[in-house]
Each structure stands twice: as C-alpha cells, then as structure tokens.
Amino acid sequence: MSVEEAIILFTDYLLLERGLSKNTIDSYRTDLEDFKIFIKKNNFELKKLDKKNILNYYDFLDKKQFSKSTLQRRYSSLNQFFKYLIKQKILQQNPMLSMKRMKKEFKLPKFLSFDEVKRLLSVNTCEDKKTLRNRIILELLYSTGMRVSELCSLPIKSVSFGKECNDNDYKFIIIKGKGQKERIVPLKKEIIPLLHKYMCISLVDKQKYLFQSNGKDKHITRRTVENIIKASALKAGIDPSKVSPHTMRHSFATHLLQKGLDIREIQELLGHSSIETTAIYAKINTKKTMEILKKYHPLGKYKK
C-alpha cells in the first residue's frame, strides 16, 4: 500500500469512526504531507520503516525550521497514523514505539482582562441585523467558551427548541464538540433578549445554522469571525493582534477560575477530554497570584 492510500484510509477513519471536525482532519492531513514527501523522496516502503528512518524524517523537518510546537504536533499525528495502520494490520509494528516522546512546548494562553472584555462586548450597539449578529457572536464566544469551529457550525436547534420567542426556549445551549461529543452550557442572562431579537428578525424557513451564509458550508466562516473580533477590538481601543476567537475562550476559562469555579466544572464547560488540558488555566492563576504577592506582600519582595 502506498503512503497516499494509507493517509486517505486514515483520514476517512478520523471522519467516519471518530467523528472529528473538518478542521481537525485537515490538520492531520497537513501534518502527514511532509511525511508523504519524505517517503516518496527516499523511495521508502511503509512496511519496512524503522526507527532510523523516523529519526531521519525529523532531521528532514528540522531543516524546515519549524517551531517546537509544530514538530511536537507532527510527532503526535505520525504516531496516531502508525497506530491506526497497526490496528488495520497494514503494519506489524510501530517504528516510533521505542522513540522518546517529544516534550510539549508549554505556553501560557493569552487572555483579556475583565475590563477589556467588557469594552469589547460594548462596541456593537447599533440595532441593525449585522451589528446584532456581531454582538451575539462575541457574547457567545466569551459567555460559553465555545471553540470558533463550534460557533460557526452551531445549528439553530441547539439554541431554540420552539418557534415562539420566549424566555423558556433559551435557558442553555447544546454544543457539539470534538468527536461529536455534546455538552450543555448555560446561557448568560444578558444574551437571551439579544438572541430573541436576532432569531425573530434573521431566521428564515429551513435555515439550518444560527449564523447562515451563502458560502459552500452554508454557515459563517472562521475568517469572518476573526475579522469581526479584530474590528470590534479596534473600536474598543484594544490591540487587534491581542485578540482572536481562542483568546475569548481562554478569557472565559481564566475569569471563571479566578472567580473560584472548580477546574473540573471548567473542563466540562470547555469540552476538554482530559483535565490536563484544562489545568493550564490553573498555571495562569498561579502566575497572577505570584505577581500580586510580589507587589503587595507586607515583607517586601516575595520569593517562591
């Protein structure tokens, strides 16, 4: 079997059996593209790959001067690829099995202060349909912590369970995350009347998505959401380079932790499969605590 055929089988498996999103599958495909180039360039066969070949592959990647985080992701994707091939009996053993796992590059996620978020959410004040949509997008990203991919493809039925615009229809939102796993996130009280108005004036018959578009996917794109956020940041006097859809998600989690919400509950709200992923926000809170201690400790400079 050629490496191209194996990659097609693997990405089909990610879509049909694991139910991963298009963006996630595209990321796997991109990660494996360099591996495909390396295999073909050296005329290697999948079944005959060994540890030495994989080490040579990482030498090949090093010459491309990727960041440590990109190399780590390439490692993870390739390992998942080989595990799948073994499961399908296409390979007998994983050539990466005895390799030392690459340490994940640790970076604290960027987030906005609570004051910055308030300013960002207050800029879209007009009553026209487009401005109302933009405000709801910002409110949903921050008040639910959903991923931008989840927001873009948010079905109407996950928000509204009836045809009439009344409070009982908008208590919470059902978000379908990675692996098609569903989670329930309560809606902020302030967003309910905005949703009432938007859904009453904007939705048409047989519309599937809350944020419909005329594009190929029939819903708003990630790029459109990014542009809305950056334009709003500019209006709010915030450096647009500081703000992205993921910044809103990080701000949501960080502020909840600072307010005392248990990290397990934040894990559920974010849809993280592992508590280790959510634990990064605890590190942010620790850093903030240290900064406060250094500034206000009665004995002067505080040392760890």
Sketch the domain layout of the chain as residue ranges.
Answer: 3-87, 114-288
pTM of the predicted model, to two decimals? 0.64
Radius of gyration for the alpha carbons in the chain, expressed in angstroms and rounded: 23
Distance CA 53, CA 58 (A): 9
The reply to whether 249 belongs to the active site is yes
Output the pLDDT for position 104: 57
User: Which one has a higher pLDDT value, 272 or 7?
Assistant: 7
Place of tokens 């927001």: 151
The reply to whether 178 belongs to the active site is yes
The reply to whether 73 belongs to the active site is no
CA 263 to chain centre: 18
List the catalytic residue out of 36, 222, 246, 302. Answer: 246
The CATH-assigned architecture of domain 3-87 is Orthogonal Bundle (1.10)
The arithmetic mean of pLDDT across residues 71-87, rounded, is: 89
For residue 155, the 8-state DSSP code is B
Output the pLDDT for position 13: 92
Output the pLDDT for position 232: 95
List the catalytic residue out of 133, 176, 219, 249. Answer: 249
Least confident stretch, 77-81, 103-107, 153-157: 103-107
List the catalytic residue out of 178, 222, 230, 235. Answer: 178
Helix (H, G, I), strand (E, B) or coil at 186: strand
The arithmetic mean of pLDDT across residues 75-82, rounded, is: 90
User: Which one has a higher pLDDT value, 136 or 279?
Assistant: 136
CATH code assigned to 114-288: 1.10.443.10
Output the pLDDT for position 161: 41
List the catalytic residue out of 133, 135, 255, 272. Answer: 272
Output the pLDDT for position 293: 44
List the catalytic residue out of 73, 147, 219, 255. Answer: 147
Distance CA 76, CA 47 (A): 19
